[in-house]
Amino acid sequence: MEQNPVTANGSPDLAVELGPLRLKNPVMSASGTFGYGEEYSNFVDLRRLGAVVVKGISLEPRAGNPPPRIVETPGGMMNAIGLENVGVEQFLSLKLPYLRELSVPVIVNIFGNTVDEYGRLAARLDGTPGIAAIEINVSCPNVKKGGMVFGTDPAMTGAVVRAVRAKTSLPVITKLTPNVTSISEVAKAAEGAGSDIISCINTLAAMAVDIFSRRPRLANVFGGLSGPAVKPVALRCVYEVTRAVKCPVIGLGGITSATDALEFLLVGASAVQVGTANFTNPAVTVEIVEGIKRFMEVEGIGDIKSYIGSLDTSCLFPFAEDSCSLIESEMS
């Protein structure tokens, strides 16, 4: 495979372009696992991240679900936080200024109970300095459609994206749920409705119970599974989505290392987000940036863009007759 040589000064180029969104490297935090950024300022230099994606924001503050809200599972965890957040006004006045001061690109994750609420949030954020993009979380129940989750229906997803698109000139990212039969169909609907970028995956619907008390472990009964356990599912989703749409894709789900991140880039994601791994290692995001850089140096990859989507799924039969000469030349 052809590779760009390492750039003149010897330092590999990690910058990525996701349509209208340009990032200095492909590593971001995932919504809901990084607070509003400041929580991690003791552990990482936030300016070294491609972007910070903040906790999901709604029009009004939300208290969230009753506890217990989390439970650990093999290689993962489930959460039912219930989208607790300070609301858009407090976010803008109390949380955003800290990140704006640092000049960290901020991606604001938004959710609503109705299509209209998504549109109003987008309008409120539009034109606010310090915001690099809006990420639409469609993994929420639509109260006007009997609580059906927006993201499980291509038409409802399209309606949400259109409502946001109409109210903002910021880059729009649509974050897909894996809890569907065909994630490609939903991705196409989002792209068709004007989404500049797709991110996937959100958490997998899951459950845990206690055999003694005979009760669900989470007060909410269901929770969202995340962490290393979901990575193979996430990779498959990214693979499918990158082949279904033309717009850039952000991959996430179970990333804990540079190797994991590179797997997503290889499959076709133009950037990645890191979620649950922040809990285990609060410095993991910057460590992943450094790890990707080291990998590029060792592999002689000058530009990360040349690695993105370079997965080779063609068949190669090293022991077939006509490849023998190739093997012999390699052995000599």
Sequence-ordered list of residues with C-beta below 8 angstroms from that of 99, at least 6 positions apart, any chain:
36, 37, 38, 46, 52, 54, 106, 130
Partner whose binding site includes residue 213, from ligand FMN, other proteins, none (CB under 5 to 8 Å by kind): other proteins
Q: Which of 284, 290, 250 is nearest to 267 (CA)?
A: 250
Which is closer to ligand FMN, CB of 249 or CB of 301?
A: 249
Interior/surface letters 254-270, b for 16+ CB within 10 angstroms, e for the rest: bbbbbebbbbbbbbbbb
First-to-last CA distance in the chain? 21
Partner whose binding site includes residue 175, from other proteins, ligand FMN, none (CB under 5 to 8 Å by kind): ligand FMN
Q: Which residue among 23, 27, 31, 33 contacts other proteins (CB under 8 A)?
A: 33
Partner whose binding site includes residue 122, from other proteins, ligand FMN, none (CB under 5 to 8 Å by kind): none
282 is an interface residue for other proteins by CB under 8 A: yes
Distance in angstroms (rounded) separating the CA atoms of residues 315 and 180: 30
> Which structure tokens are listed for 264?
């997503």
> Which structure tokens are listed for 300?
């002689």
Which is closer to ligand FMN, CB of 72 or CB of 116?
A: 72
Site residues for ligand FMN per CB under 6 A: 30-33, 55-56, 79, 81, 83, 109, 137, 175, 202-203, 226-227, 230, 252-255, 274-277
Partner whose binding site includes residue 253, from ligand FMN, other proteins, none (CB under 5 to 8 Å by kind): ligand FMN
40 is an interface residue for other proteins by CB under 8 A: yes
CA-atom Rg of the chain in angstroms? 21
Question: Which positions lie near other proteins, rule CB under 8 A?
Answer: 32-35, 39-40, 42-43, 55, 63-64, 66-72, 74-77, 79, 81, 84, 210-213, 215-219, 227-229, 256, 276, 278-283
